[in-house]
A and B are shown apart, each in its own frame.
Chain A
Amino acid sequence: EAQVTQNPRYLITVTGKKLTVTCSQNMNHEYMSWYRQDPGLGLRQIYYSMNVEVTDKGDVPEGYKVSRKEKRNFPLILESPSPNQTSLYFCASGTGTGLYEQYFGPGTRLTVT
């Protein structure tokens, strides 16, 4: 089944404790992206990747890191999480060419206390 998977789905952590949210897609997509969704603000793009080893900042990259060492994986790293990073995070992938469809993962709900 073609899908985007994220792990963990739920995470509660404390301020300053480094964490990684994994994202994997099995559709051989070039493009992958991370978003956060907060009430009343809609989804905002954090980082995106056009291909392996090619990444760029979205609208809200502060406090986040990403890497794209393999085509299928695009982990999101929070080196020192803070309470304002409490949010619902979505990973997405697509071909990245033309009018491409973007497929979203199921989401990761992160709480930083």
Chain B
Amino acid sequence: KNQVEQSPQSLIILEGKNCTLQCNYTVSPFSNLRWYKQDTGRGPVSLTIMTFSENTKSNGRYTATLDADTKQSSLHITASQLSDSASYICVVSGDSSYKLIFGSGTRLLVRP
């Protein structure tokens, strides 16, 4: 069964610290992997999109990595800010680019 699992479920860090969120998937065949940021009560916003041939992609302080062999991805947040408090969702696309499989997300809280 195609699944996307994220860890940890929740994370609390101090402002200015770095953190790394994990995503493991069993989707096959694999097309692309996306990371979204979702603020409470709002729709998700895209951070990065990566194909199987890409290992790393950055968007400001957000850096996503992908290992298509082990089917793992990570999202690294550098120098966290209070505004980074949100849920981060890993999304994988398989043989159909129209059908996206979502992880349940990691809820990040950045404290001053």
Most buried by B among A56, A90, A102: A102
Chain B residues with Cβ below 8 Å from A99 are 32, 49, 51
Contact with B along A32-56 (1 / 0, CB 8 A): 0101000011111100101000001
B103 in contact with A107 (CB, 8 Å): no
Chain A residues with Cβ below 8 Å from B102 are 35, 42-44
B42 in contact with A106 (CB, 8 Å): yes
A interface, over-half SS = strand
A45 in contact with B99 (CB, 8 Å): yes
Q: How many contacting A-B pairs (Cβ < 8 A)? A: 49
Interface size class of B (residues with CB under 8 A): 20 to 34
CB distance from B55 to the nearest CB of A (A): 15
Any chain B CB within 8 A of the CB of A74? no
B43 in contact with A33 (CB, 8 Å): no
B98 in contact with A50 (CB, 8 Å): yes
